[in-house]
């Protein structure tokens, strides 16, 4: 039996478009006072949930976000973990996929829903998508069956779709349907009913205590190759001082030029102990460096496969793994496996 009565949900408002409301007199958009959420979105009262809110001060446009915000969020979740059945994080859409990815690595043994949502239009505007996103995210965070939360993962809910957070990418800057999970099925769909895709959702069997990881190392770079990219560009990026890992965004199934100078540049930095992680520029599909000569040359040079990871999840995973200060072989082997459902391996 699903039973969602008297659930306690903590809503954490970080900023972004969703939290804007139009002043009825001046018409100016200003941040919404989340203490008054039940007055502003009266529909929420009908759930009968116990809703609490924490608002960042100041709120931030997510384009200004940095990993300190992720640390603040996981600490807030840890402090409030026992008090609440689920968490809804209201966040700007621009970097939501990065934040959801990061939290999926930073919250080990998560057994309660942490649902990111936001909107393309402010909650205070007539055609807003914010109300539906907020209401459904709260309902999903509160839904359980026989004491088990039905979506106990870090997720993104947007426009009828619940997705595994570290599989998402923002792919449309205008449509309400702004997020995709190109390489993993949706965890739930919200139509007349909420339909959970149980087979795709991770349910903990060990129910260990939540452990948070707050060590992140930002000494990474993303290098997107393109036809005609110069040796100087490649050399400069690969050799940035203190850089420990580079995400190489390659063509198709993980292919890149086989020119000698290019492969030598890669080999040189790999020999110095840096990691090069191969992630495809395609919005869907996986790296397979055994498929073509152009991918195989990378493999032979010591490049690590990112498989079907998104760039957003690769950024978060590298920051997290480098923050653990593991030896290089362990870090590479962790990149080769799924820590939090981020790759299909
Ligand atoms: N720039 C905004 C942000 O990411 C856009 C949004 O909220 O959708 O914070």
Nearest CA to ligand 1 atom 3: 92
pLDDT recorded at residue 1: 45
Query: What topology is assigned to 220-335 in CATH?
Result: Rossmann fold (3.40.50)
218: CB partners within 8 A, 6+ apart: 67, 319
pLDDT recorded at residue 39: 73
pLDDT recorded at residue 3: 53
Distance (Å) from CA 92 to ligand 1 centroid? 4
Q: How far apart are CA 195 and CA 205, in angstroms?
A: 22
pLDDT recorded at residue 42: 86
Reported CATH class of domain 8-212? alpha beta
pLDDT recorded at residue 2: 53
Is the CB of 99 inside a 6 Å radius of any atom of ligand 1?
no
| Ligand 1 atom nearest to 120, measured from its CA | 8
Distance (Å) from CA 72 to ligand 1 centroid? 19
| Ligand 1 atom nearest to 18, measured from its CA | 7
Do residues 56 and 15 make contact, with C-beta atoms less than 8 angstroms apart? yes
Residues of the chain with pLDDT under 70: 1-5
Is the CB of 19 inside a 6 Å radius of any atom of ligand 1?
no
| Ranges for all domains in the chain classified under CATH 3.40.50.40 | 220-335
| Ligand 1 atom nearest to 63, measured from its CA | 4
Query: How would you classify the pairing of strands 148-149 and 144-145?
Result: antiparallel
Q: What is the mean pLDDT of the chain?
A: 94
pTM, 2 dp? 0.95
| Ranges for all domains in the chain classified under CATH 3.40.50.1170 | 8-212
Is 14 a catalytic site residue?
no
| Ligand 1 atom nearest to 93, measured from its CA | 8
| 19, 94, 120, 129: residue to mutate for ligand 1 pocket, most atoms within 8 A of CB | 94
pLDDT recorded at residue 17: 87
Is the CB of 93 inside a 6 Å radius of any atom of ligand 1?
yes
Is the CB of 61 inside a 6 Å radius of any atom of ligand 1?
yes
Torsion of CA 121, 127, 128, 132, to 10 degrees: -150
- Residue from 14, 17, 95, 169 carrying the catalytic annotation: 17
Cα dihedral across residues 276, 279, 280, 282: positive or negative = negative
Distance (Å) from CA 120 to ligand 1 centroid? 8
| 93, 100, 171, 172: residue to mutate for ligand 1 pocket, most atoms within 8 A of CB | 93
Is the CB of 133 inside a 6 Å radius of any atom of ligand 1?
no
**E strand residue ranges, the chain:** 8-13, 20-22, 29-31, 50-55, 86-90, 107-108, 114-117, 144-145, 148-149, 154-158, 161-164, 169-170, 179-180, 188-190, 194-196, 211-212, 220-224, 245-250, 275-280, 304-305
């Amino acid at each position: 039996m699903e039973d969602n009565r008297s659930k306690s949900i903590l809503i954490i408002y970080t900023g972004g478009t969703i939290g804007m409301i139009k002043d009825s007199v001046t018409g100016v958009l200003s941040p919404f006072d989340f203490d008054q959420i039940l007055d502003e979105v009266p529909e929420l009262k009908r759930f009968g949930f116990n809703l609490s809110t924490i608002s960042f001060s100041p709120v931030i446009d997510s384009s200004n976000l940095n990993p300190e915000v992720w640390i603040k969020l996981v600490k807030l979740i840890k402090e409030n973990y026992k008090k609440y059945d689920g968490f809804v994080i209201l966040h700007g859409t621009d970097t939501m996929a990065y934040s959801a990815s990061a939290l999926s690595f930073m919250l080990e043994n998560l057994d309660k829903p942490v649902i990111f949502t936001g909107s393309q239009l402010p909650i205070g505007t007539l055609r807003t998508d914010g109300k539906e996103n907020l209401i459904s995210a709260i309902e999903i965070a509160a839904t359980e069956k026989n004491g088990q939360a039905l979506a106990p993962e870090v997720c993104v809910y947007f426009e009828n779709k619940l997705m595994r957070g570290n599989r998402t990418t923002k792919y449309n800057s205008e449509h309400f349907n702004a997020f995709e999970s190109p390489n993993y099925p949706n965890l739930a769909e919200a139509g007349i009913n909420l339909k959970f895709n149980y087979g795709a959702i991770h349910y903990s069997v060990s129910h260990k205590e939540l452990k948070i990881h707050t060590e992140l190392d930002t000494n990474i770079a993303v290098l997107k190759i393109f036809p005609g990219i110069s040796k100087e560009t490649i050399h400069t990026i690969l050799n940035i001082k203190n850089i420990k890992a580079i995400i190489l965004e390659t063509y198709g199934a993980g292919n890149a030029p086989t020119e000698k100078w290019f492969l030598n540049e890669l080999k040189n930095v790999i020999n110095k102990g840096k990691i090069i992680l191969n992630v495809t520029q395609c919005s869907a599909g996986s790296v397979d460096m055994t498929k073509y000569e152009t991918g195989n040359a990378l493999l032979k040079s010591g490049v690590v496969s990112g498989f079907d990871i998104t760039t957003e999840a690769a950024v978060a995973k590298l920051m997290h793994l480098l923050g653990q200060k593991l030896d290089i072989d362990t870090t590479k082997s962790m990149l080769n496996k799924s820590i939090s459902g981020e790759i299909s391996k």
